[in-house]
Amino acid sequence: MPETPEFTQWVRNYNGLAFLHPGWRLLYVSIPKAAGTSLNVALTRTAGIAFPGRFVESLGEESLVSQTIWDGAAGGRPMVDSLGDAEYERLMRGGLRHVFTVVRHPVERLLTTWSSKYLVRAPYYRARLGLPDPGLRRFESVEEVLGDLDQLVAQLCADPALVHRDVHLVSQYELLRRDLSRFDHVGRTDRLGETIDWLNGRLASEGAQLHEVGHDNDSPIDVEPSMVSPRTLQRIHDLYAADFDFLGFDRDAVGMTANLHDGLLPVLNREIEHNVRAEVLHSAATMASRHSGPRPDPLAGVATRLRLLPR
């Protein structure tokens, strides 16, 4: 059965980086910070494409090798943007056989976005939101770390439109266009084994065997809601109220286990050092390559598309 014009246009316009395998007719619409890196790495390897392979040659801003999976053009990951218009239209007219996504508890998703992007000063994230950036930051206490979370959430509450500057902060309700009807499977990160079983069955029908799904983009630290100030936790609930209603998550059923303690601060501070240095080097490389036309930043491309979403 052919895909509807609305679904076809939505996938093309807003999901250019989504995994799309024409032979399997499989589409994976990944939600940022919901096992997307791990599943995309596994699916890419299942498709016979080496990872990290040529992905390490990516000129994007990612500071971790695992994150280069999102620069699909660098390594050849099958994705929506890999197809020309005519090929894409033919595929969608013929219909897809397997369409899935994976969602995550909204509090977990915000906490891991903060800890893996904003806390560790991943390149450019704080600047996108207009957050103060004093340069190289060294945390001396757990309280200082949690204060950094308070600052991010307060900034978002003061101007909720800021979430559209970073795809990791956009609500799942909005990313999935408020409609789950076309998905053959909607998984959850706390039940990822169910998604892996579903994928194994679907890929077996296509003559493929799913590569092992790892943990490819873990945060250096984890906090749990009991560590978060009541005011900040309530603000997170308010920011993502539509997600709770849309996806049916219990606000208090957060499955994270904290590992943050004073002894982990040196590890966190080293991670910050690496990312600050990565931003300096990436900025310099980008400026040096301008005369030949730099490659577009894939993350910025997604953010641009997301800003076009109806509010």
Domain ranges of the chain: 5-307
Order of strands, edge to edge, in the sheet holding 26-28? 19-21, 26-28, 98-103, 185-188
150-168 per-position pLDDT tens digit: 999 999 999 999 999 999 9
Of the candidates 118, 117, 114, which has an alpha carbon nearest to the alpha carbon of residue 225? 114
Half-sphere exposure of 112 (CA within 13 A, CB side): 21
Q: Indicate whether 61 pLDDT > 90.
A: no
- Label residue 130 exposed, middle or buried (CB < 10 Å: 0-12, 13-18, 19+): exposed
Distance CA 15, CA 96 (A): 15
Residue 285: the pLDDT is 81
- Tell whether the torsion through CA atoms of 14, 73, 282 and 270 is positive or negative: positive
Of the candidates 39, 36, 33, 47, which has an alpha carbon nearest to the alpha carbon of residue 77? 47
Residue 216: the pLDDT is 65
In the structure encoding, which two tokens stand for residue 43, read together?
Answer: 């699916």
Q: Are 103 and 247 in contact (CB under 8 A)?
A: yes
Q: 292 by DSSP, 3-state: which?
A: helix
Residue 299: the pLDDT is 46
88-133 per-position pLDDT tens digit: 999 999 999 999 999 999 999 999 999 999 999 998 999 999 998 7
Calculate what percentage of the chain has a pLDDT beyond 90: 74
Distances (CA, A) of 308 to 164, 169, 177, 304: 9, 15, 12, 7
Distance CA 217, CA 200 (A): 22
User: What are residue 102's DSSP bridge partners?
Assistant: 187
Distance CA 288, CA 292 (A): 9
Q: Number of H helices and number of E strands within the chain?
A: 13, 4
Distance CA 269, CA 120 (A): 8
Q: Are 88 and 28 in contact (CB under 8 A)?
A: no
Distances (CA, A) of 248 to 107, 169, 208: 13, 19, 33
pLDDT class of 135 with cuts at 50, 70, 90: confident
Residue 159: the pLDDT is 97
Structure-derived torsion over alpha carbons of residues 197, 202, 207, 208, reported in degrees to the nearest 10: -50
Q: Indicate whether 305 pLDDT > 90.
A: no
Mean residue pLDDT across the chain:
90
User: What are residue 1's DSSP bridge partners?
Assistant: none
Query: Which one is predicted more confidently, 298 or 14?
Result: 14
Residue 263: the pLDDT is 94
233-290 per-position pLDDT tens digit: 999 999 999 999 999 999 999 988 889 999 999 999 999 999 998 888 888 887 887 7
Instruction: For residues 192-212, give the mean pLDDT.
Output: 97
User: Strands (DSSP E) along 111-203, which ranges?
Assistant: 185-188
pTM reported for the whole predicted model: 0.89
Distance CA 38, CA 23 (A): 21
Sole residue written with tokens 């079983």: 197
Q: 204 by DSSP, 3-state: which?
A: helix
Q: 206 by DSSP, 3-state: which?
A: coil
> Which one-letter amino acid corresponds to residue 12?
R
pLDDT class of 220 with cuts at 50, 70, 90: confident
Q: Are 215 and 245 in contact (CB under 8 A)?
A: no
Q: Indicate whether 304 pLDDT > 50.
A: no
Residue 217: the pLDDT is 59
